[in-house]
Amino acid sequence: MYFDLLRLGYHLGLAVLVGGGFVLAAAAAPAVFGAMRSRAEAANVFGAVLSRYDGLALLALLVVAATTVLKAGAFDEDPTDWRILTRWVAIALMGAATMYGVAWAGPVARAIRKETPGFDDLPEGDVRRREFRALHDRVRGALRLVVLFGLVALFFS
């Protein structure tokens, strides 16, 4: 029963990270930005969605990390097996991308947008818009890496 509970937690955590990232990027963002009257309103709504997702993603990452460590300790996984090593590396890289995207770059980008009055009316060359755009692009890249490395971890689980 212990092994089954560990597998459940591991796969549930990966489902939140991989599935959540995929749904946010492929379904939620296009729907929100397509349905709202203005880009600013859509950005505010989607920013609130991302803010809620950040907490879930961090919790899911914690569950994946804990279950990985517990599985390795309890079931004598062979660290010289390339499949196990590949899974561990994928989880580590997924964890780093998650931490970067949801614990730092995403919140900083949302803070820039929230704390800048009239953000959407700023000229394209404004330093705050450039900084937001750079962070936004990095968060999107990090989310892609989370999905990619999460899929690798799922494949080798």
Low-confidence stretches of the chain (pLDDT beneath 50): none
Query: Distance between CA atoms of 119 and 129, rounded to whole angstroms?
Result: 8
In this prediction, residue 77 carries a pLDDT of: 73
**Burial of 135 by CB count in 10 Å (0-12 exposed, 13-18 middle, 19+ buried)?**
buried
- The predicted structure's pLDDT at residue 78: 78
- Enter the pTM of the model: 0.91
Q: Which token pair is 53?
A: 């997702």
pLDDT score at 133: 95
pLDDT in tens, 89-100: 999 999 999 999
- Residue 153 burial (C-beta neighbours within 10 Å; 0-12, 13-18, 19+): buried
pLDDT of residue 76: 62
